[in-house]
Amino acid sequence: MEFFQMLGTTIDMDAGGLWLDDIIREKFRQEFITKYGIDASTNPRAWLRLLDESERIKKQMSANATNIPLNIECFMNDKDVTSGMCRADFEQLATPVFEKIHSLLLKLLEETGVNAQEVDEIEIVGGSSRIPMIRKIINNIFNKDPKTTMNQDEAVSRGAAMQCAILSPSFRVREFHMKDAQPYKIKITWNGGAAEGGESDVFAEREEFPFAKMVTLFRRDTFQVDARYAFPNMVPHSTSAIGSWRVTGVTPNPDGSARKVKVKVRLNPDGIFSVASATAYETQIVDEPAGPLTPAPGESMDQGQSPQDDAQQQQQNNGEEQAAQPEQPKGPKTKTIAIELNVEEHFPQNFDAQKFYEMEILMQRADEKEKKKADAKNSVEEYVYEMRDKLSDHYQDYVTAQDADSFRSQLTDTENWLYDEGEDTEQTVYEQRLSELKKYGDPIVERYREAEGRAPAFDRFTQTINRTRKAYDDYVAGGEAHAHIDSKDMEKVINAIEERQRWLMDARQRQDRRDKTQTPIVFVQEIQDQHNAFENVVNPILNKKKPAPPPPKKEEPPQPNQGAQSSGDASQTQDKMEVD
C-alpha cells in the first residue's frame, strides 16, 4: 500500500495563470486606447475575446522567445487591431506575480521546517507551470529542475477521478493512503444554555484529517456552537465564519445543576468542518431486585423434616447470627444513560435553491434559443454558398440563364444582409429568409434529382417486364417451370405485361420531349408505384408452387395358400370334365 503525507500547503489567491492572462490583456487594452481610440473593457464581448487571445499568446511565448503577433478582425466598432508581445516584455510586466510565487515557495519551506536541499524531486502541474520563468524560480530555490512526468493539464482531474474510485465500492484500485493536513486553525465558541459561554481551539494548523474530537460542556438548556477560522487574515475568503449549530433538547439534572454534554466535532475526508453529534448524560438510580424468601422462626422450607432436625437447624442459625458482624449501609446503585440531542445546522450564507434552479432553467433556455438562432443563421449561409456553386455546375442544365441570374442576385443580396442587418437577429427572420430562397431553389433541385433518378427507375422497370415476358414465353413453349399454372392466370400476366409496356414507352417518349428546365412529366415516385403494382400482379402467379405428386401405390405379394386352393379347384374341375 502506498502512503502519502501532506506536510504543508500555502496559497495566494492573487497569483496564477488567470492573473498572468489579465496582465497581458491590460497591456493590450492600454495600447488599443492610444492606437485605435477604443476601450475593450467597455464591451463585454470584445473584453472576453481579448482575454482568449491573451491566453493564446501566453502559451505561445512559453515555447518561443520571439515576438508573438496579435491580429483580431472586427474586434470592436468594425475595427481590426494588430499588436504583439515577446517573452522578455511579458516577464517584465508579470514581475509582481512572479515575486509572489517566489515568496510562496520560501514561505512553504519555512512553515514546514524543510530544507530546500532535503527535497528530492519537484513535480509541477497546471498549464501555466510551462512558463519558463516559473521553472527558473523553482530552480533558483531548490537548485534542481522541476519534473513534468504527469500530464500538467489533466493531473488534478485524474487525481479527483482516482479518489472517487477509491471511495466507490464499484471499483477496485490499488490501495493508497493519504495523510492530509488542514492549513488553518479552527476555533469554536458556545453560548446559551443558562450558563456562561466560552471558546476553544479544536483544530490546529497542519493537523491531520479526517479526524474527530469531543468537547465536554455543562449546559442546562438549548445552546449554540459557532465555528470560525482563528486567523481571518490568513483565509483567502471574504468571511471567516464556518457555520453555527444549535443543540436542542438539553435539560438540567434533577437537582437543578448543569447537565454534562459532549459535542463531537470533526473534519471529514474533504476537510469540511461540522458538528457531528451532541450527547447528554443522565445518572439514574437502579432498583435492586428482591432476595430469596427466608422462613419464619420455627418454620421450615422442607415439610419432610423431623422435629429433631428443626431443633438442630434452629441452633445452627442462632450460632451464625451471633458470629456475623454488623455491615455498613450501602448507597443506591446508579447507571449513566446517554441521550442523543438534536443538532440543527445554520450556515452564514443561506442560498435559495429554488431561485437558483429557476435561474439555471432560464439560462438553459436562453442558451438553447441562441443555439437555434445560430443554427438558423448557419443554414441560410450554407444554402447561399451551396446554391451559388451548384448553379454553375450540377444545376446548370436545369435552370434557364435568366432564372439563374435572378437567383444569383437574390443569393448575393442575402449574403450581404447576413453580414449587415442580419448579423444578429431573431431565429424566425433567418427561417423566413431561407424559406424565400427555397421557393426558387427547390424546383431546380427537384428537376436535378428527378433527372438523376428517373433513368435508373425506368431501367429497373424494363428489366422486370423483360424477365416476366421470358417466363411467359417459357410457359407458352411448354416449359416445366410454369406448366402447373392455370391458363387464366397466365392470361393476366400477359395483359399486365402489355399494359405496363405501353405505359413505359409512352412515359419515356413524353419525358424525352420535355425540356430539362421544365417540371418533369413523370416523377421517379410514379415510376416506382407502377413498378410495384406490376410486381403485385405477376409475382403471386409466377411464384405459385407446383402441386406435390401423388404417393406411389404399394403392391401386395400373392398369398401361397390362395394359390394352392386355386390349383385344387382346377383339378376338381378337370376331373369332373373327364367324368362327363
Taking the CA atoms of the chain, what radius of gyration do you get in angstroms?
Answer: 51
Domains 1-180 and 184-286+339-346 belong to one CATH topology: no
> Regarding the domain with residue range 184-286+339-346, which homologous superfamily does it belong to in the CATH classification?
Substrate Binding Domain Of DNAk; Chain A, domain 1 (2.60.34.10)
Supply the pTM of this predicted model: 0.54
How does DSSP assign 145-161, residue by residue? PPB--S-TTTHHHHHHH
> What are 540's strand-pairing partners?
none
Please tell us whether the domain made up of 1-180 is placed in CATH 3.90.640.10.
yes
How does DSSP assign 196-233, residue by residue? --EEEEEE-TTEEESEEEEEEEEESS-EEEEEEES-GG
Distances (CA, A) of 159 to 211, 444, 550: 22, 59, 81
* 479-483 long-range contacts, CB within 8 A, separation 24+: 482/542
- Indicate the SS3 state at residue 140: helix
| Cell numbers linked to 104 | 510562496
How does DSSP assign 264-320, residue by residue? EEEE-TT--EEEEEEEEEEEEEEPPPP----PPTT--S-TT--HHHHHHHHHHHHHH
Report how far residue 271's alpha carbon sits from residue 9's, in angstroms, rounded to the nearest whole number: 13
Report how far residue 453's alpha carbon sits from residue 442's, in angstroms, rounded to the nearest whole number: 16
1.10.3720.10, 3.40.50.620, 3.40.50.720, 1.20.1270.10: CATH of 353-546: 1.20.1270.10
Report how far residue 403's alpha carbon sits from residue 506's, in angstroms, rounded to the nearest whole number: 30
- Per-domain residue ranges of the chain: 1-180, 184-286+339-346, 353-546
Distances (CA, A) of 154 to 125, 126, 150: 8, 8, 8
pLDDT tens-place values along the chain, 580 residues long: 677 888 888 888 888 899 999 999 999 999 999 999 999 999 999 999 999 999 999 999 998 989 999 999 989 988 999 999 999 999 999 999 999 999 999 999 998 889 999 999 999 998 888 899 999 999 999 999 998 888 888 888 988 898 888 888 888 888 777 788 888 899 999 988 667 888 999 999 888 888 899 999 999 899 999 999 998 888 877 788 999 999 999 998 888 888 899 999 999 888 899 999 999 998 877 766 554 544 444 334 444 444 444 445 555 555 544 444 555 556 677 788 899 999 998 877 667 788 889 999 999 999 999 999 999 999 999 999 999 999 988 899 999 999 999 999 999 999 999 988 888 889 999 999 999 999 999 999 999 999 999 999 999 999 999 999 999 999 888 888 888 888 898 999 999 999 999 999 999 999 999 999 999 999 999 999 999 999 999 999 989 888 877 777 666 666 655 544 444 444 444 444 443 3
Q: What's 118's DSSP letter?
A: G
- CA 162, chain centre distance (Å): 17
61, 87 contact by CB (below 8 A): yes
Report how far residue 449's alpha carbon sits from residue 390's, in angstroms, rounded to the nearest whole number: 13
38, 17 contact by CB (below 8 A): no
| Phi, psi at 395, each rounded to 5° | -95, 10
- For 180, residues 6+ apart whose C-beta sits below 8 A from its C-beta are 6, 208, 209, 269, 271
Report how far residue 484's alpha carbon sits from residue 491's, in angstroms, rounded to the nearest whole number: 14
